[in-house]
Amino acid sequence: MAGENTTGFLSPQDVHDRLGVLSGMKVADFGCGAGEFAVLIAKTVGPDGLVTAIDVLTSALESVTARARVAGLENVQTIRANLEVAGGSKLHDASQDMVLASSVLIQSKNPADIIGEAKRILKFEGTLAAIEWKKGATASFGPPDADRIDSASLQKLLEMHGFSIISQFDAGAYHYGMVAKKQQ
């Protein structure tokens, strides 16, 4: 969940390596939490790229800022925003090469709104990478199984928003990943 350190059961490095992040990219990290992904991605996009870490929690954004400072990164900016509101990210239309949404859709009563915001800010053929909790992956932590979005439902939702699925992958024992390209 937002602000939670997920490194105990989800490897940000393993997920990062599957996303196709390139030098010079502009990447929005929706629901950035403590910033594990934001810092890794910022190192990859380099000084010609930019990571915009977005969260509704001020404490999460403070953590991202501190992590970026410790890592010597100057290409990370933070925005406090409600991603369920049209234009909520405060980023310009078609301005981002990639949006990462890790364990974000499950927190929304209407994940379609978040996908719509990602679509709005992505360039044509930009990438949306969603990491979500697997249904049926039981543990003493995490959201209730009934609240989780199964991969077939996520794929349908993305396709309804004009995305084509590029890849799906296991993101550890409790998560899966889906990478999609904006087509419309």
The ranges assigned to domains in the chain are 12-182
User: Bridge-partner residues for 165, per DSSP?
Assistant: 180
Tokens of 156: 């349908």
pLDDT of residue 9: 73
CA dist 169 and 82 (Å) reads 28
Q: Are 61 and 53 in contact (CB under 8 A)?
A: yes
Share of the chain above pLDDT 70, in %: 96
Tokens of 126: 């930009």
Tokens of 27: 């990447």
pLDDT of residue 6: 45
Higher pLDDT, 42 or 134: 42
Amino acid identity, position 166: I
Given the DSSP bridges, would you call strands 76-80 and 50-55 parallel, antiparallel or unpaired? parallel
Q: Are 113 and 101 in contact (CB under 8 A)?
A: no
Q: Are 2 and 56 in contact (CB under 8 A)?
A: yes
Residue 1 scores a pLDDT above 50: no
118 torsion bin: left (phi>0), alpha (psi -120 to 50), beta (else): alpha
Give the model confidence (pLDDT) of 36-94 as tens digits: 999 999 999 999 999 999 999 999 999 999 999 999 999 999 999 999 999 999 999 99
Angle, CA 144 vertex, CA 139 and CA 150 arms, to 5°: 95
Torsion of CA 131, 133, 139, 141, to 10 degrees: 80
Q: Kindly state which CATH superfamily the domain 12-182 is placed in.
A: Vaccinia Virus protein VP39 (3.40.50.150)
Give the model confidence (pLDDT) of 89-112 as tens digits: 999 999 999 999 999 999 998 999
What value does the mean pLDDT take over residues 126-138? 91
Specify the pTM: 0.92
